[in-house]
Amino acid sequence: MNTNIQKITSQRIGDSYYEINHSTGLKIFVYPKENSHSTYAVFGTKYGSIDNCFKRSDEANIQQVPEGIAHFLEHKLFESEEGDAFARYAKTGASANAYTSFDMTCYLFSCTENLYESLEILLDFVQSPYFTEQTVRKEQGIIGQEIRMYDDDPNWRVMFNLLGALYHHHPVKIDITGTVESIAEITPDYLYQCYRTFYNLNNMALCIAGNVEVDKVCEIADKVLKQSEPVAVDRVFEKEPASIVEKRVEQKLSVSVPLFQLGFKETLTQPRKTLEEVISTELLLYILASDSSLLYRRLLDAGLINEASFGVEYFEGPGYASIIFSGESKDPDEVKKQICQEIVQVREKGIDPIAFERAKKAMYGRNVAGLNSSENIANSMISLFFAGREFFSYLDAIAKADIEQVNHALRTQLQEDSCALSVVNPLDTAKENINE
């Protein structure tokens, strides 16, 4: 087959990986690690829970489908007329799994032996959809139970309650699993429609890291992969206002200490943040709220947070971006107050150069250390590729970041009028005892 292979080497750290443009349209990345005892492979599609409205390049009309189909498809692809993919993996000894996120769906395995047999299984079952009215009805019952379970999960609810408070229209606010009502609308025809649209190899990638040989990967790919039509897919989102929906949202569930998430919504001027912007924000968050920051120490000493749960992340993807602080606290409103005060004070003074250099070294070191993990390499590689970012460029962007970029992020992000607080409080124990 006509397959192009390119070796990409990092001048900064000396590691290399191979980028393979396969003739079927699939992009393959192979990151050999000679001393690795295991190998990790992930086969993914640029298709997640937010992709309920889309337009194919070969069709004139925009398509709208029920919420939760991406996750539903993930479940169904493990089944085939020949049997369950997990049973096939059991014969090779590989440990397999899959996940659906907001913007991608991935199928994966790790193994210490029988790599190429396991790889053949992975590529085969993901390309072999099998849906019937009977199997769809059965899965609707299974996923319906999963949805009800998540409805009672405090960590899940505090997150989606926050996203509902931040976003008016963007589908990131919709539960990844959909709702009991939306999955009831799913039919085999819908599943095949979404499969043929998003599981086109031109919309997918395969990443393998560990004890692996490029030539053997190509042999399996040539044997198993099926030709795809060069169809592109555009995500279609309703315009999202800059404002938030509400400042505070609260729910009571079975927790011993209140959970909180404090989110700062951003207005995007482009579909997705640049890599340099993401790095600047991540450096800013390390300076503001890492376990070496003044804010963290102050909140901890006051008993407002605990070490195990407090954290901050830059939550960004196609059409959305927010900074989210989270944790457990006896007084989430006071935590919010102190975080907002800290942002104002640091903004007035500007980023401390010593803190900036410390953050830069820590972030760079953490990412270099991550190259010791085949799992981390493969998962990072596929998520960066789907975001339009090259793997080694992430390290380069950290090394090249300057303090003015981080000060710009501080001036333009974390605006208090664009923040919302989500809290999950403990149930009323007295009422619970009466009910009992």
Write the pLDDT tens digit of every residue in 223-236. 999 988 888 999 99
Confidence of residue 89 (pLDDT cuts 50, 70, 90): very high
CA 288 to chain centre: 23
Q: Are residues 256 and 142 in the same domain?
A: no
pLDDT greater than 90 at residue 263: yes
Confidence of residue 115 (pLDDT cuts 50, 70, 90): very high
Full domain range(s) for residue 198: 4-235
Domain containing residue 27: CATH number: 3.30.830.10
Q: For residue 339, tell me if it sits in a domain.
A: yes
| pLDDT at 410 (0 to 100) | 96
Q: Which of 175, 207, 235 is the last residue of a domain?
A: 235
Q: Are residues 41 and 114 in the same domain?
A: yes
pLDDT greater than 80 at residue 384: yes
Biggest distance spanned by C-alpha atoms of the chain: 72
Q: For residue 355, tell me if it sits in a domain.
A: yes
Write the pLDDT tens digit of every residue in 167-222. 999 999 999 999 999 999 999 999 999 999 999 999 999 999 999 999 999 999 99
pLDDT greater than 80 at residue 27: yes
Q: Catalytic residue among 19, 34, 59, 74, which? A: 74
Q: For residue 97, tell me if it sits in a domain.
A: yes
Q: Which of 182, 202, 235 is the last residue of a domain?
A: 235
Confirm whether pTM is higher than 0.95. no
pLDDT greater than 80 at residue 83: no
Write the pLDDT tens digit of every residue in 249-261. 999 999 999 999 9
Q: Are residues 189 and 45 in the same domain?
A: yes
Active site residue 74: yes
Ranking 73-82, 297-306, 373-382 by mean pLDDT, the lowest is 73-82
pLDDT greater than 90 at residue 371: yes
Distance of alpha carbon 201 from alpha carbon 221, whole angstroms: 12
Number of structural domains (the chain) is: 2
Q: Which of 177, 208, 235 is the last residue of a domain?
A: 235
Q: Are residues 261 and 207 in the same domain?
A: no
| pLDDT at 94 (0 to 100) | 96
CA 129 to chain centre: 24
State mean pLDDT over 284-312: 95
| pLDDT at 436 (0 to 100) | 41
Confidence of residue 433 (pLDDT cuts 50, 70, 90): very low
Q: Are residues 72 and 142 in the same domain?
A: yes
